[in-house]
Structure 1
């Protein structure tokens, strides 16, 4: 009976010691978790793009990174208005393709142009409204301004024969009368030239414009239309 009591006591003492070890270990784990170091903060400088013709600058992390948008100058406004006119003709040409083109890839590139440039026209007119500049009414016969700012009309098609890449009335009439393979070839030739004219306009506003948003629009036009030019050239030689 005495031996049994001693054995029980020994077991109780061992259990108590084990519990103590577990409590200490748990405490160490908790302390370790509480003392875990915070993730390192980013110490790399932030690059802020400069305006057209200016070099980029750097600021320390945590400093304000917002870039104040320069109000548009005359070059910015003219680029946006002219690009709306330019897009309007491209969409008109592209909308001829579904009923006239023979090749599926020509119909496809035409649909891509119409689907992308239509919304871009709306976006650019909203930009003009933001700065109270004359918008371009692409539905009016002469593409007159929407009346903002009290300026004179800005024809969507009239008086723009000298705009880079624009097709003439005679070329548009020939395209509209064509069909099949003849339409495909003429459409690709005219649209490639049209896009190349758009790239010329982009390069001009990159040199003379000051508004950041207009520079972004110009960059988007350059990327999209360069890709489409390459696609259409491939279709011509296929």
Structure 2
């Protein structure tokens, strides 16, 4: 049985912090060193690793956030925010309702990662001079395409507890994650700038890993 493989995916907060620091960093001299008085671009390491200074190639990959966002980028970020917010609605139910400790632990990790990613996406919209559209902009048809739960499914989840909650949570969250992966793949196929590409790749890696964990848990719970 597989365990949660956090080391396989770079947490969304790593990309978020890196992009924030890139946006505040001044231009560097030809020697590659930052001008006197400017802060270095620091990349937090994977779990257990120490933070390190980013190389010039890594800084270039993150980009400066000044390029004009494409329609696909704007749509992806604006739709992924309410998608993530629904995931938080579900994970916030777990501490009081879940029976299996691994379900509670996984819900906590998902919630922490997706809160950080929401902050990253809102920051990208702000730096791009864009507003985040309200959740109502995601209609029912798109919610189904994105793997989002219906209001009835959320009400059923909220009313459940113990093993019943665990099973329903894992099934709904697996479908939810599959929708997010589909959205990320679709964006990457259309082409995107480095910042949103980093976000989409992180969603793909993290959520595919979590899908595997949830499938294992469903088998274990029975």
Per the normalisation by structure 1, the TM-score is: 0.63
2:107 to 88, 106, 110: 110
- Structure 1 residue 158: Cα displacement: 5.5
Query: Does residue 180 of the first structure (1) align with residue 162 of the second (2)?
Result: yes
Query: Does residue 192 of the first structure (1) align with residue 174 of the second (2)?
Result: yes
> Aligned partners of 1:228, 1:173: CA distance in 2, in Å?
23
Larger RCO (alpha carbons 8 Å, 6+ apart):
2
Query: Does residue 94 of the first structure (1) align with residue 91 of the second (2)?
Result: yes
Matched residue SS, 1:161: helix
**Structure 2 unaligned residues grouped into runs of 5+:** 1-55
**Corresponding residue number in structure 2 for 1:219:** 201
CA RMSD of aligned residues (A): 2.1
**Alpha carbons of 1:228 and 1:234: their partners in 2 closer, same or farther (altered >3 Å)?**
same
**Alpha carbons of 1:163 and 1:133: their partners in 2 closer, same or farther (altered >3 Å)?**
farther
Structure 1 residues 193-230: Cα deviation after superposition (integer angstroms, max 9, x where no partner): 00000010011100124211111000000110011001
1:155 to 136, 139, 143: 136
Structure 1 residues 162-207: Cα deviation after superposition (integer angstroms, max 9, x where no partner): 3411000110000000000000000000000000000100111001
**Alpha carbons of 1:87 and 1:156: their partners in 2 closer, same or farther (altered >3 Å)?**
farther
2:74 to 58, 73, 77: 77
**Corresponding residue number in structure 1 for 2:48:** none
- Structure 1 residue 108: Cα displacement: 0.4
**Alpha carbons of 1:157 and 1:91: their partners in 2 closer, same or farther (altered >3 Å)?**
farther
**Alpha carbons of 1:156 and 1:92: their partners in 2 closer, same or farther (altered >3 Å)?**
farther
* Residue pair 2:79, 2:138 contacting (<8 A) in 1 also: no
**Alpha carbons of 1:86 and 1:156: their partners in 2 closer, same or farther (altered >3 Å)?**
farther
1:170 to 152, 162, 175: 152
Query: Does residue 123 of the first structure (1) align with residue 120 of the second (2)?
Result: yes
Quick check: which has more Rg, 1 or 2?
1
* Residue pair 2:83, 2:148 contacting (<8 A) in 1 also: yes
- Structure 1 residue 85: Cα displacement: 1.0
Pairing 1:29-108 to 2, within 5 Å after superposition: 66=60, 70-108=67-105
> Aligned partners of 2:137, 2:114: CA distance in 1, in Å?
15
Structure 1 residues 26-82: Cα deviation after superposition (integer angstroms, max 9, x where no partner): xxxxxxxxxxxxxxxxxxxxxxxxxxxxxxxxxxxx99x946664210000110111
**Alpha carbons of 1:114 and 1:156: their partners in 2 closer, same or farther (altered >3 Å)?**
farther
Per the normalisation by structure 2, the TM-score is: 0.67
